[in-house]
A and B are shown apart, each in its own frame.
Chain A
Amino acid sequence: MSKRSPSSTSSSERRVGSDVIKLLGRLALLTALVLGSMAFFFWGPLPYKHQLAMLIDKRVLLDATPAPRVILVGGSNLMFGVDSAVLEDALGLPVVNMGVFGGLGLLAPLDVILPHVQPGDTVVLVPEYEMLFTGLAPFDKDYYRWFLAVDPRAAWRFYYSRQKPQVLLADFLMLMRDKLGALFVIPFKGNHSLAGNGYLRYEQVVNRFGDGSEEIRPAAPDQLAGRNNVYRADAFKPEIVAQLNDVTARFKARGVRVLLTFGVFPESEYTLNQKIIDATAGQLRDDGTFQVVGSPRDFLYPYSEFSDSVNHLRPAARTLRTQRLAVILAEAGVGKAPPAGARGAAR
């Protein structure tokens, strides 16, 4: 084998060295371009093509509403079951309806709301029964990404720090896809603002309080989603109270009052599950460090008052429910004192 001269070896090494630098430089540039464009996309003024992105809009709404406020937290029983204008009028306090979707659970939404509350605020928890009986965490891991979109730091603290890095990466990329989805829709369907906070159609489907304003196509009473659910006698777990107490302590530390009341339910469904519902209400009242106001019976309606599920009310019943809620909250010392005889009238 012939030996190479030192000069040819060093020139070949120099070429290899320059090739390595060239490749690393270009990879670094490409990485910077990818990360930069993603960062611009993530924080840039483009809404998401996903309904759950309205969590961002609702957080913005919360920040924009002066304290002291009444902050309603729960699932879609609030989104499609409360007339916040009526409530605000009755209580004399600004109302923010943070309810979006029961599948998000209760703990995660509270975690992202916590940094945005102020002393004097009242947080009213209105969990659906399904939430109380199946757990307060989001029903699906897919939903966590929306808390990442609302508040990355909070989401990291309560969820992503305990997950593998690829979960965070996958969820971040899913958010990118939801934003790209909006980019594809806007040019074709128009009528959307590029400078939205979260959900592409937020301004069309939600009013200035956070209530759902889009009409839901009503289903026949026997077609209501969630009908005929019979919960097991031991469905309510004591750790739910412990979790709610923990959250309450954190809100109280910020000078915020925490109340809990009950979601809407069809009368017949209540009859089916009366034992467990009443026992749960008793346990919440006895062991909770939060104040339980009203009773499950306060929010029972016939099937005909529900729109498409056992959690969503038709407009007329929403007003009735809100009036009832206003009376109960006022009796608990929230906002203005209720006028004499209002309790009976709102039933």
Chain B
Amino acid sequence: MLFNSLEFLIFFPIVTAGYFLLPFHWRWLWLLVASCIFYMAFVPIYILILVVTIVVDYFAGLLIERTRGRKRWRYLVTSIIVTCGVLFVFKYYNFFGNNVNWIAEQFNLDFAVDPLALILPIGLSFHTFQSLSYVIEVYRGNQKAEPHFGIYSLYVMFYPQLVAGPIERPQNLLHQLREKHHFEYQRVADGLKLMAWGLFKKVVIADRLAVVVNTVYADPTAHSGGALLLASVFFAFQIYCDFSGYSDMAIGSAQVMGIRLMENFRRPFASRSTATFWTRWHISLSLWFRDYVYIGLGANKFGTGRRMFNIMATFLLSGLWHGANWTFVVWGGLNGLFIALGATTKKTRDALARKVGLGQTTLPRRVIQIAITFSLFVFGVIFFRSASLGEAWYIVTHLFADIDVWGDKHYWREAFSYRSVGLDDDELRIAFFSIFALEAVQAVQSRGSVRAMLATRHWALRWSLYLLLIWVILTFGMYVETQPFIYFQF
């Protein structure tokens, strides 16, 4: 079930009303059933995969807590192998097989791995990581094992964050599922406003930009450098609005029921370095990799060389988490490289900036840093979005191929024409204006919560803005060419 569907428009009020109307001791069951229905709206049979990992990790958690010594370690490893095994079979088996087959072919070996005809279950990587964080935290002694099977199941399946995060930690979510939450006007209203803002990002911006991105990336060789550049920049905004829009809707819908999910995005495009960017983008995943991979590898304890290795390893794995394709691995590797280079060249860059009179906090320096960070992100997402490394390379090498005719206005008119990008002039104007509006709101957000600021304004202004937001969502949203959320595929 998509958050931007009519089904959800019916599902959400029913589930929320039922949640508050039911006696407290039945609420977990109500939410669990609702979460099952939500998940089964995609591919019903795949709920069995969830059941397997839930059962394994539930018992693993109890056994880890009850035992001592090497047995604990064995239970943890068994749980990780089973949970990751499911992920491997459904997500990586064919990728692994294809690469083995390619190597066998290079060495003329008569060997082939047959592919499996499996559809990747929606959100598999998300609930796998959430389950893993539970057993790891129980093993580390940071979390008590959850004795109630239903509550544990709900921890994995809680519908707002089941298919695309935020990837929660047991310390944050489990106790909230046991607490009684009352209906509070301000909290519910704030949750609904956050959902509306997320919906705006998804249906007005992301799905509109998707038309351009899909058109151009469907056949990059048929487009000019200008169109490739536009589509790549648009994809950066598309993926941000798509994913952060989903997170807003997830956080908002949980907030309505009194459950606080972790923040997943914090104005990442205002970041002044790639390292900072990754503390503001998909925060729940970045923290997961930081806590369980980067720190596990030794973080920065063993010198610069080892630190660089740890960064690269973490980002390569993060790339692979996103998808079973070398394009994702390269994307992850590029981000790791940007961070590693950023760290090793920081002193030189700072010295250079001081020489030309650009202090650390001066506006021009900040603008340059933000622009470079954004450009590097756009460069990376070309690999993320491309179907193959060859296609990504073609785009990268053709972005500026016709720079000599950039001064010709006909060139841009053609590059941005309906025939080229799939959106007419009006739609393109709406796309640019929406991005501008988004950035304007986020600039205000840098000074504090927009909702809190609005709360102090005259009611007429607030209501006009709410009405405007709903009007814009309804009339400028893309409902005919609805796009699934990008991160569902992970």
A12-B479 contact, Cβ under 8 Å, with A23-B189, A33-B467, A34-B474: no
Q: Looking at the assembled complex, report how far the CB atom of B185 sits from the nearest CB atom of chain A, in whole angstroms.
A: 4
The distance in angstroms between the C-alpha atoms of A184 and B419, with both chains bound, is: 24
Known: A30-B467, A34-B470, A170-B479. A12 touches B185 (CB 8 A): no
A63-71, A174-182, A215-223, A298-306: which lies at the interface: A174-182
Per the 8 Å Cβ criterion, residues 1-35 of B in contact with A are 6, 20
| Count of A-B residue pairs with CB < 8 Å | 47
Contact A173-B182, Cβ < 8 Å, known A37-B467, A165-B6, A166-B479 = no
- Across the interface, which residues of A come within 8 angstroms of B182, CB to CB? 12, 16
Contacts of B426 in A (CB 8 A): 49, 181
Determine whether the beta carbon of B185 is less than 8 Å from that of A176: no
Q: Which of A38, A142, A166 has the most CB of B within 10 A?
A: A166
List residues of chain A with CB within 8 A of the CB of B455: none
Interface residues on B, range: 20 to 34
- B480 touching A170 by the CB < 8 A rule? yes
- A232: shortest Cβ distance to chain B, in Å? 28
Chain A CB within 10 A, most for which of B6, B189, B480: B480
Which residues between 463 and 480 of chain B lie within 8 Å of chain A, taking CB atoms? 463, 466-467, 470-471, 474-477, 479-480
Inter-chain contact B470/A169, CB cutoff 8 Å: no
- In the bound complex, how far is the Cα of B111 from the Cα of A324, in angstroms? 76
Quick one: given A37-B467, A170-B480, are A180 and B185 in contact (CB under 8 Å)? no
A37 to B464 Cα, complex, angstroms:
12
CA–CA, A16 and B463, complex, Å: 23
Tell whether, in the assembled complex, residue A19 and residue B475 are in contact, meaning their CB atoms are under 8 Å apart. no
Check B471–A166 contact: CB distance below 8 A.
no
Give B268-320 interface residues, CB cut-off 8 Å to A. none
Determine if B110 is an interface residue (Cβ-Cβ < 8 Å): no
Cβ contacts under 8 Å, A174 to chain B: 480
A240 to chain B, nearest CB (A): 28
Question: Which residues does chain A contribute within 8 Å of B467, judged by CB atoms?
Answer: 30, 33-34, 37
Question: Which residues of chain B are within 8 angstroms of A166 by Cβ–Cβ distance?
Answer: 6, 479
CA distance A34 to B463 in the complex (A): 11
Nearest to A164 among chain B residues (CB) is B6
Q: Is B408 an interface residue (CB 8 A)?
A: no
- Say yes or no: is A235 at the interface (Cβ < 8 Å to chain B): no
Q: Inside 8 A of A30's CB, which chain B residues have their CB? A: 463, 466-467, 470
A residues within 8 Å of B by Cβ?
12, 16, 19-20, 22-23, 26, 30, 33-34, 37-38, 49, 142, 165-166, 169-170, 173-174, 176-177, 180-181
- A/B interface sample: 6 pairs, CB < 8 A: A12-B182, A19-B185, A34-B470, A38-B474, A49-B426, A173-B479
Residues of B within 8 A of A (CB): 6, 20, 182-185, 188-189, 426, 463, 466-467, 470-471, 474-477, 479-480
| Known interface pairs A19-B184, A30-B467; 12 further A-B residue pairs with C-beta atoms within 8 A, sorted by A's residue number | A16-B183, A19-B185, A20-B183, A34-B471, A34-B474, A37-B467, A38-B474, A49-B426, A142-B480, A166-B6, A173-B474, A180-B475
